[in-house]
Structure 1
Amino acid sequence: MTHARIQTQVQTKVRRSLSGCALLGAALLAAAAPASAQGAPPQDAASTAEQTIATMTKIFGDHPGKRSNHAKGVVVEGRFTASKEAASLSKASVFSGAAVPVTARFSDSTGVPQIPDGAPDANPHGLAIKFKPADGSEMDVVTNSLKFFPVATGEEFRDLLVAITRSGPDAQKPTPVEQFMAAHPAAPKALATAKTPSSFGRQTYNGVNAFVLVDAAGKRNPFRYRIVPVAGEELLSAEDAKAKGPNYLLEEMPARLAQGPVAFRVLAQIAQAGDATKDSTIPWPEDRRLVDLGTLTLTQAVPDSESAEKALLFMPNNLPDGVEVSDDPLIDARVQAYAISFGRRSQ
């Protein structure tokens, strides 16, 4: 399938059907796996994930060796140095204070490997990080540039995907996706938070799912990640983003790293009693405590990013002792979908 044809598919299936209220790239970020087709009986998680990947392939096309979503990206390396406060909140070795090697991947949304970096559909951008402490207890963190997620359950995400596939230019008004947005008011609000940056290194990335920090005494603190660029966030207008080259983000990051490190503050927004940990559509109030867990310092791009990213698998439940999953059902849904997508691109 040609790039022009893929882009036409994206535009006709999304921009017209969403009537400007959301973008396919935002709707299809890999943070949930839909359940069975609408009206069908519930199925197990593996079947749910298979349906997710199949639907994404229907929308984006089949691109062997590439991720089903966030197909376009760049892999970099560096280190993470924890703060003293991090060690008081979690017994995980990654927070012990010693510098920990990391491999990270920045990405555009959608399963279209040729999508222009400045296209609205390339939002939200992703940042996935694999921490590799000396004791072998890996930790994966998967974040994106949305402030919260459009839906709360895998079933709702399923319905959104199905609605998109049924909302072509000839669909009766209101289209299925317009009906979905009306019935799920958090969705258009979440999608509206997606913006295009001047650089992958000048964007804030959020962990829309809640996890739990566990200290040496067993005290548990539910939290969400917030990864903030030390250089400050710099977002572009739609017009300025459109004027950029098709690969400006992927090309800019290695060039920036060649000039010096790119740093982020890794923060934990700590929940208070009553804050929803199983509903990713509900952002916690901004007055919640923000703990500085440490500094992520990226130092170089890998020599062969395409080969590296094919082999990389970031799993939200790949956690060390001292960090646990919460009751958010989307975490397991993501794990199932990622595993299937990895298996397909590894063939």
Structure 2
Amino acid sequence: MRRALWRVGGWWRYGVIVGAPLALAAGFGYAGGWLAPGRLSAQKLVDQLQANAGVHPGYRRNHAKGVCVAGTFTGNGALQPYSRAQLFAPGVVPVVGRFAIPGGNPYAPDSSAPIRSMALRLTQANGQQWRTGMNSMPVFPVATPQAFYALLQAQQPVAGTGKPDPAKVGAFFAAHPETAAFLAWVKGAKPSSSYAVDSYWSLNAFELVDAQGAHHAVRWRMVPEATADGSAGQGEDYLAADLVQRLAAGPLRWHLRVTLADPGDPTSDATRTWPAERREIDAGTLELTATQPQDSGPCRDINYDPLVLPDGIQASDDPLLPARSAAYADSYLRRTSEEAHLPDSAMAKKEAR
């Protein structure tokens, strides 16, 4: 059904595309006092994600379908003038990551949305971690948790049809002009045939802190060495199989490109890009060498909370960051509790994925 919806035009097409990928931000909830109690919470947001995609016990409420990966990150020292984080010094740190498609349905076809995600946990020698979740789109549709929740509500499937109401989806976009940049990107976006050929953006801004304590606003992206050949994936589960095949031939690499903001560049609005002429630094190379099943691999029990940061990296004033953190935690608690109580038949089915 999801593949069929992708082919439909107009607001309906945008609604389907955004509905699944927006789970990439994993919802938004009460954190840091930025929302009044009773109005919006992480629990309400995750409940809405479940209302839209269904409940699949033991799986993440967003990016339910994915694969674990392992490798290393080699810093080259180029970012040391801007951050005192150990991982940016020359050297190698271990990485546990996960590729996924958006949405809460672990059985969705890989072509159901044009967005892929890359989540990473990098562990420094001192034990501090950097966890980051990135996505293969350069801009986010909305700027606030409230707008995201409203979009999810607009996209909730209608009873009896299993599809969102196009009028509600269209009304949301008409009332939110900040979605224009994302919708422009969506018009030309197509599902890639491989995780290996996509670039992955942080979307949110962060701050690097240097040895003197000065702060530098940044965004980053992972840029692949592999290039797309224009081919389309075959079948419903081609992404994981393609990754295994590619890694059997050798490691896959991405370059961490960090963009430095100029004064006045927005750091609290993920719907707005920064000018292309901003300075960009290649900070090092991500090298992935192996995959593991998401149900038994090391990424299974990792909550890729974007606010788990080492000394030298801090959150910006983007309100989506504490919101993502709160909802990630709620989703993690739900799936791990359910997994412990899954009947044998359900666990066998889950592990078969």
TM-score range, shorter chain: 0.7 to 0.9
Answering whether residue 336 of structure 2 is matched by residue 346 of structure 1, we say: yes
Which runs of structure 2 are paired with 1:1-347 in the superposition (5 Å)?
7=1, 18-22=11-15, 23-31=17-25, 33-34=27-28, 43-44=36-37, 48-119=41-112, 121=113, 123-165=114-156, 175-187=167-179, 189-191=181-183, 192-193=185-186, 194-234=189-229, 240-241=232-233, 244-302=234-292, 304-308=293-297, 309-347=299-337
Distance 1:218 1:162 in 2: 42
Counting matched residue pairs gives 327
**What displacement does 1:223 show?**
0.6
Change (3 A) 1:294 1:234: farther
Moved more, 25-34 or 102-111: 25-34
Q: Secondary structure at the match of 1:339?
A: helix
In structure 1, the partner of 2:346 is none
Change in CA separation of 1:45 and 1:301 when aligned onto 2, cut-off 3 Å: farther
The verdict on how the C-alpha distance between 1:170 and 1:233 changes in structure 2, with shifts beyond 3 A counting, is closer
Q: 1:170 to 1:225 in 2, by over 3 A?
A: closer
Residue 104 of structure 1 contacts residue 127 of structure 1 at CA under 8 Å; is this kept in 2?
yes
For 1:272 and 1:46, the matched residues in 2 are separated by: 35
Report the more deviating stretch, 163-172 or 63-72: 163-172
Structure 1 stretch 25-34 or stretch 304-313: which is displaced more?
A: 25-34
State whether residues 100 and 117 of structure 2, in contact with CA within 8 Å, keep that contact through their aligned partners in structure 1: yes
- Percent identity, please: 35
Q: Residues 27 and 249 of structure 1: is their aligned pair in 2 closer, same or farther, counting only changes over 3 Å? A: closer
Task: Give the deviation of 1:165 after TM superposition.
Answer: 1.7
1:28 CA displacement: 2.4
Unaligned runs of 5+ in 1: 1-6, 37-41
CA contact (8 A) 2:181 2:271 kept: no
For residues 208 and 255 of structure 1, the distance between their equivalents in structure 2, rounded to whole angstroms, comes to: 29
CA distance in structure 2 between the aligned counterparts of 1:15 and 1:30, rounded to whole angstroms: 22
Q: Distance in 2 between the 1:256 and 1:293 partners? A: 25
Determine the C-alpha separation between the residues in 2 that align with 1:263 and 1:222: 26
What is the Cα deviation at residue 232 of structure 1?
2.9
Tell me the distance in 2 between the aligned counterparts of 1:292 and 1:173.
Answer: 44
Unaligned runs of 5+ in 2: 338-353
> Aligned partners of 1:44, 1:20: CA distance in 2, in Å?
34
Taking the aligned partners of 1:46 and 1:98, their CA distance within structure 2 comes to: 46
Structure 2 SS opposite 1:316:
coil
The 3 A distance-change label for structure 1 pair 337 and 35 is closer
